[in-house]
Amino acid sequence: MAIGGKRKRNNDSDGEDDSSRRRTRTEPEKEVKEPFRPSMIKNKEKRSEVHAKVKHQKKLEKRAKSKAREAAVQRAIELGEELPEKKVPRTIENTREVDETVCKPDDEELFAGNDADEFSSILNRQHNPKILITTCRFNSTRGPAFISELLTVIPNAHYFKRGTYDLKKIVEYANKQDFTSVVVVHTNRREPNALLVIGLPNGPTAHFKLTNLVLRKDIKNHGVPTSHQPELVLNNFTTRLGHRVGRMIQSLFPQNPEFKGRRVVTFHNQRDFIFFRHHRYIFETKEIKKIESKGKKDEDGKSEKVPDHKIIARLQECGPRFTLKLVSLQHGTFDSKGGEYEWVHKPEMDTSRRRFFL
């Protein structure tokens, strides 16, 4: 081969390259078409019209499925067969991450721990709870209003002004006066924003963030609670930590409710937020017009309506209303410097929306 001469082409390889080039030029790439959506229409009137039609069509399909489900249930009842399974909607609660600390009904270790923990003497009715309620050093106008309503919610609770006393001194005083718990209401910018619950004499100490406070006067058609001891309802405290927090809340209230007062105090845990509600239930007699059978008719020939009485129950909220979120749980009484913590919430723990600790 001479220097500077042209390199010979390989006919076979060139033929393949040319054919592939021709193929790419002649055959355009197939684009995946997006499904049609009403939002793709630019005309506003046409878009709203199509959206209404699609919405109506979905409503009809949903209604048809519901009727088919009801017919299947009715058919199964008539034939004496097993009812079809009800569909359970997917929620964040029933798709939560698996937690090894969830309490089981046959957990003997848990029941043994209940008999030996700090709250057993109160929950077994050996001692009556006696609560000391105080504030932080820099109090606000809304703080005392909240405390006055807490005094009506928690029986045998007493309010003491904080003054300049250190919290450890208050805990020592409460121990000498046979108080079973200390509740401290913290305020920030004239708004209560935290609760500190200290169990006596040996702890533990729970720090809660307080939000969404609504006082009794701001609740529409609120009721005025009586002095009867309330019933206590605790919901969804399923883990070991939740069980311990639930028992701590339970130790603030007497264990012999007076049902004549019809008062209910509820702590409902949902996604680690503890919702507090205070209700009284009311029984009312409601008059219902019942149409008599074909035989009895009035002078005009119409069927006669005979009044019928029915007793119904309803709830009346007494207030206050607020939400708690656990920040930390500490061994022993309050000690900000050398205290050991059982559990502390940290931002890096929130790895998923479906991870709960209570």
> According to the model, what pLDDT value does residue 350 have?
87
Q: What is the CA radius of gyration of the chain?
A: 34
Do 137 and 47 sit in the same domain of this protein?
no
In the three-class reduction of DSSP (H, G, I as helix; E, B as strand; rest coil), residue 323 is classed as strand
How much is the pTM? 0.75
- Per the CB < 8 A criterion, the answer to whether 198 and 205 are in contact is yes
Do 79 and 215 sit in the same domain of this protein?
no
Higher pLDDT, 2 or 258: 258
The residues, ordered by sequence, that sit 6+ positions from 12 with a Cβ below 8 Å of its Cβ are none
Q: In terms of residue numbers, what domain contains 77?
A: 40-87
Number of domains forming the structure of the chain:
2
CATH number for the domain harbouring residue 192: 3.40.50.10480
Q: Computed from CA positions of residues 264, 265, 269, 270, in that sequence, does the dihedral angle turn out positive or negative?
A: positive
- Split at pLDDT 50, 70, 90, the class of 133 is very high
- Split at pLDDT 50, 70, 90, the class of 113 is confident
> According to the model, what pLDDT value does residue 10 have?
52
> According to the model, what pLDDT value does residue 13 have?
47
- Split at pLDDT 50, 70, 90, the class of 28 is low
Do 184 and 330 sit in the same domain of this protein?
yes
- Per the CB < 8 A criterion, the answer to whether 248 and 206 are in contact is yes
- Split at pLDDT 50, 70, 90, the class of 288 is confident
- Bridge partners of 188, per DSSP, are 191
**At residue 126, does pLDDT exceed 50?**
yes
- Split at pLDDT 50, 70, 90, the class of 207 is very high
Do 115 and 233 sit in the same domain of this protein?
yes
Q: Mean per-residue pLDDT for 13-34? A: 55
Separation CA 115–CA 191 (nearest Å): 39
Determine what percent of the chain is predicted with pLDDT higher than 90.
46
In the three-class reduction of DSSP (H, G, I as helix; E, B as strand; rest coil), residue 38 is classed as helix
Q: Mean per-residue pLDDT for 233-258? A: 93
Residue 58 is assigned to a structural domain of this protein = yes
**At residue 267, does pLDDT exceed 70?**
yes
